Amino acid sequence: MVGPELTVGGWFATSVISNFVAKVRSILEDNHTLHAESIEMLYRVKEALPQIQILVEVTERRAISNSSYATWLQQFKDVVSEAEDLLDDFETKRIREVLKKKKVSSVVYFPLRFVTKYLSDTDLLRLKDVLMKLNKIISHIGGPDFHSMVALADKEGVTIRTPLPLPPTQPVVIGRDKEKQQLQNMIFPSVQQPQDCVQSSKQFSVIAVIGPAGVGKTTLAQVIYNNPNAKEDFALRGWVMASRRNRNKQDIAKDIVDSFGMEQQDSLQTGPSESALSSTIENKRFFLVLDDVQDNLRELWGSLSSTLKGAANGSVVLLTTQSKEDAYIFRTTAQVSLDHLSFQIMCRVFEHHAFGKQKKASLESIGKKIVQNLHGLPLLAEAIGRLLRQKLDEGHWQNISENPWWLFSEDDDSENVALPSVAILCEYLTDHLRKCLGYCSIFPSGYLFEKNMLVHMWIASFMQQHDGICVEDMEKEWFDKLFNHSFFQPTIWKNKYIIPGMIKEPLQVIAGKECHAATDSGEPKRRLQLHRHLAIDISDFHEHLDLGEANKVRTVLFFNGRRTVRSHEAFGNILAHPGSLRVLDFSYSEAKLRKFPDFLSKFPHLRFLDLSFNGITVIPDSLCKLHLLQVLGLRGCHFKELPRDMNKLSNLRFLYAAAQTVSLVYKIGKLTNLQGLEEFPVGKTEGHKITELKNLNEISRKLCISNLEEVTHIDKRDAVLSKKVYLKKLVLKWGLATGTSTIASYGCMETLNSLEPNANLEELKIQCYMGVGLPAWMADKERFTKLKHIHLVECKQLRTLPPLGQLPSLLILVLQGLSVVEKIGSEFYGKSYRVFPSLEELKFLDMPNWREWSDIEEIQDSWNLHFPHLRKVQIRNCKVLSGMPLCCLQASLEELDISGCDEMLACRPSCSEELKCFSCLKVHCLGRIYLPCDCLGSLEVLNLQSCKVYFQGGRGQIIKLRRILTSDCTELKAEGKEQLVLEVSISKESICSG
C-alpha cells in the first residue's frame, strides 16, 4: 500500500484507565505510605481522561502522518496493557485469598479492599510504576501537535460521531436477472426449455459461476440454493466453503457429508469420510455448492468427482470461482460469467442500500460521484451505501465524498481496489467496533465465524476491564452492527458468517500493527512480539517463531500444522515465555496436543482456552488455578475423571463440552457465573444431582437436562427453572429404558411438573417422557406468551394432549413418536376464542395408533378464528389415520405433506374432497390414492412418491399445475368420461386417460 497508515483500536483505553483509577484509589486508602506521593499522580490521570479519549478517537479515525504522535499513541497503549495486567494480577490474588476461606460462591462479590492487605511490596511498587508512566505520557498532551489534534477533533465532532442504527441487511440481487434465469433453467429444467437442460445421462453436472471478487457470485449462488425448487427437486442439498486451505480429500468429503446432513432429520452415515460420502449420495439426487474454489480443491477434484458419480442422475454441482481455467479443470457442463456492474446498475444497487424508500434528490449527484470510486463491485456499493444511510444529510455525504482515501481508488492494483472503501468504513466506526473488526483479520480465508465464539474472544481479549457494563448483553449488538455495515456476510448456516476476501485483505493492511497472521507464504520467521493478536497458520509449528520474552501478545490461534511432528513440544517452544495471554485456541490445529499443555501455568491471565478435538484424556489440577478463565472448550475430548476443584473456576461463564464431560464436574452448581452449558446430565451421586442447577440462574440461550430418569424425588426448589430468566430454549430428556410401570410413569409426571420454566422461554422440547399426561403449566396462555416452538418426541406412554391451541405465540408444533395416542380433539384445541392463533407449521410424525382427528366443535361461523396463519401441515407414518379436519384446510394453508399414511387417501370417494387452497401437495403412500380434480385448482406443485395416483372427475377440466414431480409411481391416471387436460411440466412419468 502507498500512503499513510490507519491505526486500529484504542484498546478501550479510557474505560481501562477509569477502572484502574477507581481501584487504585481503593488500594491507596488502605496503604497510607503510598498515599502522599501517589494521590497527586492519580488526580492528574483522572483529569486527563477526557483529553485522552479525544486524542485516541481522532487518531483512530484517520491516517496518521505525524510519526511523533503515532509513537505517543503506541506508548500509551503499552501502559494501558500494563495497567490491565496489574489489575488482573490483583484480581487473581483476591480470588485465591477468598478460596482459602472456602467461600467459592462469593468469590465474585468480595470488594478489592478485601485483598489490599495481602499485596506485597512488589505489587505496590508495580502500581506506583504504572502511575508514573501514565503521568509521563499525559505530560506530553500540552504540546502544539496535540493541541492541533484536539482542534481537529472539535472541528470534526469526533466525540459525538456515533453510528446510528441501521435496518437489518437483506440479501438482494440487482442487475443479475439474466444470469439468475440462466442458472435456474440449467438447474431446474423443464420440458419447455430443452436447450438449457444440463441434466443428461451423466450422474451429475458441473456448472460454474465465474467472475472477479466482489461481483456477487456467492450471493447469486445463495439465491439459487434457497430457491424452493432446490428443496423440491433434490433429495440432498449442501454447501461447502471451498476456500478453506490445507485440506485433503477426506476433509472435503466430510464437509460435504456434514452439509448434506444439516437438513436431514435422520443422521447420515458415519465412518471414514470418503465411504460415508459414497453411502450418503448413493442413488440420490444432490445439489452441492462449492463456494470460492481454490487451488487445494482443484488438485483433488479428479478423485473427488469419482466418488460423486455414485449419485442418481440429474445431480448438480454449482461452483463459484474467480478463475476461467476452472471451466476446464472441473469439466463444467455449463458456465455463467459475472463481470463488474455497469455504472447505471451500480447506481441502482447503491441507491437501494443508501436510501431504502427515502430517496432524496439533493443527494443523488453526490452519490453518483461516490459510485465512480467503487469499481463496479456491488459488495462495495452495499457497504458504502449503508454507511451513507446512517444520515441522509448533505454535509455527511459530502464529507465521505471528499475523503482523502478515495485518492487511492485510482490505483490500478486489483488487490487494493477495496482499500479506500474499507478504510473509510473503519473511520466511521466507534473505537470498540473498529477494534472488534480488526481482530477478525487474523482468521484464515474461508473461515466460518461462529457468532458466539467470536464475541467470547472479543470480550476475553480486550473488554475484561469494563466494570459496570454487561458485555454479554452488548456482544450481539456489536456483532449485529458490523453485520449491518456489510463487513460480515450471511451463510446458509444459522449464526455462521464469513468476511469476504475483498473486505478481509484491506483489513489485514489496516490492522497490521495490532493483528497478524503468520502463514507459510507470509514470512513466518519474522519477529512477532510486537503484535497483540496472532494467528499461526503454518504447516510446521517447529518453524522458529520468535514471540520473545517481553511480548505483548494477547491472542494466539493455531491453524494448520499438518506437517508438525512432536506437536506438544512445538507448541511449548512457541509459548515458551510467560506473558499476558488472554485467548489461546488449539481447536483448529491439525497437529494435536494429545496431552494437557503443562505450559499453561505461565499464563494466569487466560480468559479463553479451547482444547477441543485435541485428543486430551487427562486434565491436571493446574487448570483450576486459571481463576480468570471465562470460556473453556473441551469438545471432542474423552475423560474418565476431571479435577475435583474445577468448581473453583469461579469466573467461568461458558463450558463447551459433551454431556459425558459435564457429568464429571463435581458440584458444578458452585459455578454461579455459568451462562453457557448446553447439556446437564443428571446423576444419582452427591455433587451431580439435579439440585446442582438450583443456583445456576445466569444460564442463557439453551439448556438440555438429560438423564431425568435418575431423578427419584423433586420439588420446584431443587432446580428452580423459573428463576433462569435468560433461558430461551429448554430440552427435557429422559432415557429410552425408563420402563412402562405405573410407578415410573407417576415419577416422570412428578418430575416434569416440577420443572416449570421461566416465562421468557421461546422453545420447549420434551423427549422420551414416559408419563401418561402433561402438566397444566405447558398450556398456560397467560404465562407463556413468548413460547414459539414445542416439540414432543418419543413420549411413548402419553395418551392425551394439553390444550396447546391456547398458546398465543406458538409458531411450530411437532408431535413425533407418540405411540399410544389414538384420538386428538377438543382437549388439544382448548376453549379459547381463537385456536392456534399464530401457528404456521404443524407436524405429526410416526404415530402408528392415531386413528381420529376431530374437528373443532361449532366451527361453522368461526373458521377465521382457528389456525388463521397455518401454512404447512406434515403427516408422516400415521398409518391408520383416516382423515383431516376442516379447520386445518383453510385458505392460508400452502403445503400439505403426506407420507406413510395408507388410509388417508386410499378410499373412494376420496376423504380429501375438501383440499381446496394449496400451492404445494406432497404425497408418499404405498398404495392407490385418489385426488379430486375439482379441489386442486390452486395447486402449483404436486410431488408424488411410490404410489398409484388416480385423478378423479376430470371431464375436460384444466388444472394449471406448474410442476409434477414423481418417483416410483407405477400408475398415474385420470378417471372420467372425458380426457383430463393438465398444463404441467412432467418429470419421469406421463399422464394417460383412464
DSSP letters for 24-71: HHHHHHT-HHHHHHHHHHHHHHHHHHHHHHHHHHHHHTSEE--HHHHH
Which structural domain range is residue 86 located in?
10-155
Q: Which of 376, 397, 428 is the last residue of a domain?
A: 428
Euclidean distance between the first and the last CA atom of the chain, given in angstroms as a whole number: 75
Residues 302 and 347 grouped into a single domain = no
Residues 25 and 150 grouped into a single domain = yes
Question: Position of cell 468480595?
Answer: 110
DSSP structure string for 604-649: TT--EEE-TTS------GGGGG-TT--EEE-TT---S---GGGGG-
Question: Position of cell 399426561?
Answer: 773
Alpha carbon distance 712, 134 (integer Å): 61
| pLDDT given for residue 731 in this prediction | 97
3-state secondary structure of 180: helix
Alpha carbon distance 288, 253 (integer Å): 12
Residues 208 and 262 grouped into a single domain = yes
Parallel, antiparallel or unpaired: strands 654-656 and 204-210: unpaired
Confirm if 793 and 768 have CB atoms less than 8 A apart. yes
Nearest to 612 by CA among 632, 642, 635, 644: 635
| pLDDT given for residue 143 in this prediction | 60
Residues 483 and 376 grouped into a single domain = no
Alpha carbon distance 589, 760 (integer Å): 39
Task: Name the domain count of the chain.
Answer: 5
Question: Position of cell 406413510?
Answer: 900
Alpha carbon distance 646, 626 (integer Å): 10
Region of residue 789 (left: phi > 0; alpha: psi -120 to 50; beta: else): beta
Confirm if 923 and 899 have CB atoms less than 8 A apart. yes
Q: Considering only CA atoms, give the Rg of the chain.
A: 32
CA dihedral over 236, 241, 242, 248, signed as positive or negative? negative
Alpha carbon distance 356, 349 (integer Å): 10
DSSP structure string for 479-547: HHHHHHTTSSEE-SSTTEEE--HHHHHHHHHHTTTTEEEEETTS-TTS--TT-SEEEEEES-TTS----
Which residues fall within 8 angstroms of residue 37, CB to CB, at 6 or more apart?
128
Q: Measure CA 516 to chain center.
A: 24
How many helices (H) and strands (E) would you count in the chain? Answer: 27, 39
Alpha carbon distance 490, 483 (integer Å): 8
| pLDDT given for residue 974 in this prediction | 57
- Residue 897 domain-assigned (yes or no): yes
Residues 372 and 424 grouped into a single domain = yes
- Residue type at position 708: L
- Please count the other Cβ atoms lying within 10 Å of the Cβ belonging to residue 63: 14
Alpha carbon distance 222, 220 (integer Å): 5
Alpha carbon distance 610, 452 (integer Å): 14
- Residue 146 domain-assigned (yes or no): yes
Residues 345 and 333 grouped into a single domain = no
- Residue 435 domain-assigned (yes or no): no
pTM listed for this prediction: 0.85
- Please count the other Cβ atoms lying within 10 Å of the Cβ belonging to residue 983: 9
- Residue type at position 25: R
Question: Position of cell 414445542?
Answer: 790
Alpha carbon distance 414, 398 (integer Å): 26
Q: Which cell is 129 given? A: 510504576
Residues 209 and 332 grouped into a single domain = yes
Alpha carbon distance 92, 552 (integer Å): 20
- Residue 951 domain-assigned (yes or no): yes
Residues 283 and 407 grouped into a single domain = no
Q: Which of 155, 189, 219 is the last residue of a domain?
A: 155
Confirm if 880 and 909 have CB atoms less than 8 A apart. no
pLDDT digits (tens, 9 = 90+) for 208-257: 999 998 899 999 999 999 888 888 788 899 998 887 665 677 888 888 88
Residues of the chain with pLDDT under 50: 1-11, 63-65, 108-114, 157-162, 191-201, 265-271, 465-469, 738, 859-860, 907-913, 955-956, 958, 976-994
DSSP structure string for 790-827: EEEES-TT------GGG-TT--EEEEE--TT--EESHH
DSSP structure string for 828-893: HH-S-SSBSSS--EEEEES-TT--EEPPPTT-TT-GGGBSTT--EEEEES-TT-----GGGSSTT-
Residues 909 and 988 grouped into a single domain = yes
Alpha carbon distance 56, 139 (integer Å): 15
- Using CA atoms, how far residue 488 sits from 477, 681, 699, in Å, is 14, 36, 28
Alpha carbon distance 899, 702 (integer Å): 32
Confirm if 753 and 729 have CB atoms less than 8 A apart. no
Residues 909 and 932 grouped into a single domain = yes
Alpha carbon distance 44, 169 (integer Å): 45
Residues 16 and 129 grouped into a single domain = yes
Confirm if 954 and 980 have CB atoms less than 8 A apart. yes
* Ramachandran angles phi, psi of 120, nearest 5°: -80, 170
Alpha carbon distance 434, 422 (integer Å): 11
Question: Position of cell 444520515?
Answer: 391
Confirm if 103 and 95 have CB atoms less than 8 A apart. no
What own/partner pairs with CB < 8 Å and gap ≥ 24 does 449-458 have? 449/488, 449/496, 449/497, 449/498, 449/499, 450/495, 450/496, 451/476, 451/479, 451/495, 451/496, 451/497, 452/495, 452/676, 454/479, 455/479, 456/608, 456/630, 456/631, 456/654, 457/555, 457/583, 457/585, 457/608
Q: Which of 118, 137, 155 is the last residue of a domain?
A: 155
| pLDDT given for residue 75 in this prediction | 79
Q: Measure CA 350 to chain center.
A: 28
- Residue 38 domain-assigned (yes or no): yes
Residues 370 and 314 grouped into a single domain = no
Question: Position of cell 497527586?
Answer: 40
Confirm if 713 and 728 have CB atoms less than 8 A apart. no
CATH number for the domain spanning 276: value is 3.40.50.300
- Residue 466 domain-assigned (yes or no): yes
Q: Which cell is 311 given? A: 449419485
| pLDDT given for residue 945 in this prediction | 64
3-state secondary structure of 971: strand
| pLDDT given for residue 378 in this prediction | 93
Confirm if 980 and 993 have CB atoms less than 8 A apart. yes
Confirm if 510 and 500 have CB atoms less than 8 A apart. no
- Residue 624 domain-assigned (yes or no): no
- Residue 287 domain-assigned (yes or no): yes
- Using CA atoms, how far residue 872 sits from 14, 73, 516, 847, 898, in Å, is 54, 60, 50, 18, 11
